Structure 1
C-alpha cells in the first residue's frame, strides 16, 4: 500500500479497450497516452463555490497594493522610472535618477505608467497607481495557472492549482510590490497553458504562445523567451506533442514573438547606442548576464537554500505526487510541468544570479504537479498539512491581534513600547474601519477552516485562506508602522530644506535605490563621485553605515540624518568651504 496515497482499485471495464483493428493506429495511441481512466475522472461532489475562490483571490491580491510608500530596492527604482516616463522621458530608455536602468525589459514599466496615469484621475499617488499593474499581472498569473491545470488534469483541478500557488510563501511580497518579475511570471503561466492547449487546439495555442514569448522578452530578458522556446522544443520528446501541426504552432509563435521582442532593443539602440551596448553586454541574457560575459555557477546553491521556504507547500505536494505516482509520470499532465520546472531549476542553479524573483518561475509547475495528487492524498498526510497550516496561521493571527492591541491601546505595555521604539515617527490612529476589517477577515477564516471538504482540498484551501488572513492582518495592523520605519518620505522631507535651490549636488556611496528616492520625491539628480572624481559641485551628500563620518578636507557639514529608527544608514550633507 502506498503510504501517502489511498490505493486505487482497478476498474474492470473492458469497454474502454479499443478494438483490435484500431489499437495500433496513431490516433488511438495518442488517445491512450492522454486518456484518463474513469476512476481518476470521478471526483467527489463539489462543495466549493466558484465565487468563493474569486473572492479569496481578490482578498489575497488587494491588500498591500494601496496605502503605502514604495519600499527599496525594487519599488523605489520602478517608481522613479515611471515618474520619468510620465514626465516625458524616452519610453525605450528606462532611467533611474537620470541614468539608464536596463536590468529588465521595459514592458512592466509601460503598463505601470499607464496604471499610474489612470490612477491619477482618481487621486491616487503615482506609486500606488503604478502598483495596480502588479495586481493586474498577478491576476493574469493566477488565471493562467488555473487554465493550465484544467487543461492538463481536468475539471475542478484549476482551483486546486490556484490555491497552491497563492499559498506559496515566496509569492507574497513579489505579488504585491512594484517589480517586473510578476509580468514574466504571468507570461510564463500563460505560456505553459498554451503548450498544454496545443495538442487539442493548436491554432488557438500558436498565437498565445507567441504572445507569451514576446511578453517574457519585453518584460524580462532574452533568457526567458529562450527558456519557453526550449520547453516547447523539448516537449517533442513526448508523443502527445509529436503531432503534424505542432511544428506549425512553433513557426506561428516565433513569427509573432521575434518581431515584438526585437522591437525594443532596436528602439533602445536608436535612443542611446551606449545604453544598448550596456544592455547587450551585461543584461540581455538575464540570469546568465550578457553576451560580452556569460556568467554561471555563482552564487551556487542560492536557490537550493531558498526553495524550502519560498515554494512551500507546493514543493511538498509536488514531491509527494511524483514519489507516489512514479508509474504515471509519462502522462502529459506530468510531462509538461515536470519539464517546465526542471528546465527552470536547471537554469537558475547554473546561473550567476542570486535574485529571488527568478525563482517565481518554479511555483506554477510545482502547483500543477501538486494539484494532480491532491484528491488521492492519504488522509493522514492531508490532515497533518491541514493541522500544521491551521496552527501556524492561527498562532500568527493571534500575534498580529496582540500587536494591534499593543499599537492602538498600549496593552501589553512592554510590547507596545518596543514596537513604537522601532518606528519613532509612527503615530497610532485608531480606525473603526480597520478594526471591522480585521474582525471580518478573522471570522471568515474561522468559517473557512471549519467547512468540511475532501481532506486534500481542505488542506490547501485552509493553507491559502491562512496565508490570505495573515497577509491581510499584517497590512491592516502594521502597514502604517512599516511605512514609518522603512519609507524614505520622512528622510526626503527632512533633507529638502537643506538642499540648494540652484547648483548641483554630488553624491558618494549612494545606492541606485537611494538616488531614485531623491529623484522621485525631490526631483534631485545627484552627480556620482564614483564616476567623476571631482564633479565640480558645491554640495556633497554621503551615505555611511552606523559609523560616524567626518567632513572631508575643504568641506563643511551642513546636515546629518537618517530614516526614523534606521541605525544602518546615515546621511551627511556637506557644503564646499569658500576659498580666498
Structure 2
C-alpha cells in the first residue's frame, strides 16, 4: 500500500515561472565566464591546448596529444567539439571563444535535461500532492512544471557549478551527458523514442568524455530500478522489462565501444586515513553542493515513508538518489573529487525541488534571509574591491590586491560597469519582488539563492575579470619569458613543462616550441624548475646556462627557468666540456 504524500499544494501555489524569464535567467548565468576571459589554468587551458592541436592538424583525432603528451583524462568527444568549433568559426572569432561555443550549449542542455527529468519524476502519482476533499489541489501537470522550475533554480544556485560549469573541460561534457541520462531514466516510462535516443547518446557521450565506468554503472543501475518497479502507473511489467533490456543493451554496446577505443583506465584513488583529508572532503561536499544539499536532506526526511513502499511509490526519489550516490562514490575514490561531484548536481537539484511543497513559511523565510545576507554581502565585497582599485578608496583592498598580484594594472570598462550595475539593480528588484505580496508559488524559496549565485558570478566576470585573468591565467608568466628572449629566438626547447604550461605558451606566444632531446640544436630552453631543478651533475643541464628564473606574479609556485645554450662543444651529443669533466673528477 502506498503511503500518503507529504505534499499539500493548492492550485495557486503552482503558478508557472514565465518561460522567457527563465530563459533569460539561464542565459544571464551561462554567458558570463564563457565570453570575455582568457583560458585559465590548469584544466581549462590544457583542454583548449588539445582542441587547438586537433584543429591545427598537429595531433591525430583518435589520439590527441599536446607537446607529445596524451591527456590525463582519456576523453575524445570534448576535444573534438572544441576543435570542430574552431575550424567552423569565422576568422574574426577568437580561437578560445570559438572553442567555448559548444560548451555553452552543453551547460544549457544540462539545465534543459534537469528540467525535463524533474518534470517527469514529478508526474509520478506518488510524487503528486494530496487530493483535497472538495477539490482545489494542484493540477498534476502544473505541479510537475513548478517542481521542475524549482529544480533548475536549485541547479543554478549550487556554488560548485559556477567555475567548473564554465570551463571547456571533459567535466562539463560529463555533466551534460549525465543530466541527459537522468532525463532519459525519468522519462522512459512516459515516452519511448526521445528518452531512448537520449539514453543512447548520453551513454555514448559519457564514454567518449572519459567516464565509461560511470556510464556502465548508471546504465546498469537504472535498468535495475526499472526491473524493481515501473515509474508510471500505466507501465506494465512487460513494457518495464523491455525498457530495462534496452538500457542493458545500450550499456553493453557502449562498454564494448569503450573497450575498442581503449578508454578504460583504472583511476581509483582512495582517500588517505587522515583527518585533514576527510575534513577537506567534508568541506567540498558542504560548499560545492550548497544550498541544494540541505533541501535534499529535508526531502529525504519528509518523504521517508515513500522510500520503501512497494511498486511505484518511491521511484521519484530512488532515481535521483542513485545518481547522487554514484557521483558521491566517484568523488571519494578519484583524485578529481570536485569534477566527480559536479555530476551529482542535476539529480541533487531534483531532490531539492521535492522539498519545496513541504516547506513551512518559517523555513522559507529563513532561506530567504540567509540568502539575502550572504549574496548581498558577496556583491558588496566585489563592488568595494573594484571601487578601491579604481579610486584608491578605501585603500586596504587595493593594497591587498597589489600584494597578492604584483604587477597587475587595473583598467576601466564601460560595458562591464554597465552590465554590473544592471545586474545589481536586477538583484534589488528581485529582492523587492520576493518580499512583496505575491501568490505563494512553491518555487519562490529558490528564487533568491539562484539569483544571488548568478549575481555574484556575473559581478566576478565583469568587475573582477581583468584581475582574475591576471591571476588565473599563465599570460603574465608567458609575457615574462618572451620579454627575456630576443625578437627572433628561433626554436625554443621545453623541458618538464606541464600540459597547461605547454598550452599556455602555444596560445599566448608565437614561440616555436620543441621537446628537448639530447641532440636538440635550439639556442634557448624553458624548463620547469619545480620538476627539473638545475644542478651541475644533471645530464641535461651540462649544455645550458641559466639566464633567468621567472615566477608567476600571483602564483609563486609556478617557477620556470630560461636557459641559453653553451658554446658548440657543449651542444655536441656525448661530448662533455672540460670544466665539467674536471669537476666530475
d(CA) in 2 for partners of 1:424 and 1:260? 50
2:573 aligns with none
TM-aligned CA distance change 1:506 to 1:381, over 3 Å? same
1:6 aligns with none
- Cα RMSD after superposing both structures: 3.0
Q: Secondary structure at the match of 1:95?
A: coil
> Does the CA contact (< 8 Å) of 2:13 and 2:442 recur in 1?
no
Offset, 1:229: 1.1
> Does the CA contact (< 8 Å) of 1:195 and 1:232 recur in 2?
yes
2:243 aligns with 249
Which 10-residue stretch deviates more, 253-262 or 329-338? 253-262
Q: Secondary structure at the match of 1:568?
A: coil
In the TM superposition, what whole-angstrom CA distance separates every residue of 1:16-39 from its partner, at most 9, and x where no partner exists? xxxxxxxxxxxxx9xx79x97995
2:68 aligns with 98
d(CA) in 2 for partners of 1:539 and 1:307? 46
2:470 aligns with 484
Offset, 1:193: 1.2
TM-aligned CA distance change 1:47 to 1:554, over 3 Å? closer
2:198 maps to 1:208 = yes
- Correspondence 1:554-569 to 2 at 5 A: 554-569=543-558
Offset, 1:379: 1.5
Offset, 1:434: 2.1
- Correspondence 1:114-193 to 2 at 5 A: 114-121=84-91, 123-153=92-122, 154-193=144-183
1:542 aligns with 527
d(CA) in 2 for partners of 1:343 and 1:47? 32
d(CA) in 2 for partners of 1:448 and 1:321? 26
Q: Of 504, 512, 515, which residue of structure 2 is paired with 1:527?
A: 515
d(CA) in 1 for partners of 2:45 and 2:114? 29
Number of residue-to-residue matches in the alignment: 522
d(CA) in 2 for partners of 1:338 and 1:229? 14
d(CA) in 1 for partners of 2:48 and 2:449? 33
In the TM superposition, what whole-angstrom CA distance separates every residue of 1:101-160 from its partner, at most 9, and x where no partner exists? 251321111111223334444x22211221222211110100000001111112221110
Q: Secondary structure at the match of 2:100?
A: helix
Q: Of 428, 432, 445, which residue of structure 2 is paired with 1:459?
A: 445
2:491 maps to 1:518 = no
d(CA) in 1 for partners of 2:401 and 2:198? 49
Q: Of 291, 313, 324, which residue of structure 2 is paired with 1:341?
A: 324
> Does the CA contact (< 8 Å) of 2:223 and 2:247 recur in 1?
no
Offset, 1:502: 4.2
d(CA) in 2 for partners of 1:252 and 1:455? 38
d(CA) in 2 for partners of 1:326 and 1:38? 12
Which 10-residue stretch deviates more, 389-398 or 99-108? 99-108
> Does the CA contact (< 8 Å) of 2:471 and 2:555 recur in 1?
yes
TM-aligned CA distance change 1:139 to 1:572, over 3 Å? same
1:321 aligns with 299
Offset, 1:247: 3.4
d(CA) in 1 for partners of 2:19 and 2:13? 16
Which 10-residue stretch deviates more, 148-157 or 447-456? 447-456
> Does the CA contact (< 8 Å) of 2:49 and 2:503 recur in 1?
yes
Which 10-residue stretch deviates more, 217-226 or 166-175? 217-226
d(CA) in 2 for partners of 1:412 and 1:321? 45
2:210 aligns with 220
1:383 aligns with 365
Which 10-residue stretch deviates more, 231-240 or 60-69? 231-240
TM-aligned CA distance change 1:548 to 1:248, over 3 Å? closer
1:572 aligns with 561
TM-aligned CA distance change 1:261 to 1:516, over 3 Å? farther
d(CA) in 1 for partners of 2:325 and 2:394? 49
- Correspondence 1:501-516 to 2 at 5 A: 501-502=489-490, 505-508=493-496, 510-516=497-503
Offset, 1:534: 8.3
Which consecutive unaligned segments of at least 5 residues does structure 2 have?
123-143, 570-576, 578-585
> Does the CA contact (< 8 Å) of 1:217 and 1:225 recur in 2?
yes
Q: Secondary structure at the match of 2:365?
A: helix
Q: Of 218, 225, 229, which residue of structure 2 is paired with 1:239?
A: 229
TM-aligned CA distance change 1:514 to 1:37, over 3 Å? closer
2:137 aligns with none
Offset, 1:185: 1.0
2:574 aligns with none
Offset, 1:176: 0.9
> Does the CA contact (< 8 Å) of 2:223 and 2:245 recur in 1?
no
Q: Of 435, 441, 445, which residue of structure 1 is paired with 2:427?
A: 445
d(CA) in 1 for partners of 2:209 and 2:10? 38
> Does the CA contact (< 8 Å) of 2:203 and 2:251 recur in 1?
yes
d(CA) in 2 for partners of 1:451 and 1:575? 65
Q: Of 38, 41, 44, which residue of structure 1 is paired with 2:13?
A: 44
TM-aligned CA distance change 1:204 to 1:574, over 3 Å? closer
> Does the CA contact (< 8 Å) of 2:174 and 2:211 recur in 1?
no
> Does the CA contact (< 8 Å) of 2:170 and 2:209 recur in 1?
yes
2:72 maps to 1:72 = no
Which 10-residue stretch deviates more, 163-172 or 566-575? 566-575
d(CA) in 1 for partners of 2:428 and 2:532? 49
2:50 aligns with 81
TM-aligned CA distance change 1:174 to 1:460, over 3 Å? same
Higher relative CO (Cα under 8 Å, sequence separation at least 6) belongs to 2
Q: Secondary structure at the match of 1:558?
A: strand
d(CA) in 1 for partners of 2:328 and 2:549? 46
Q: Secondary structure at the match of 1:53?
A: helix
- Correspondence 1:387-398 to 2 at 5 A: 387-398=369-380
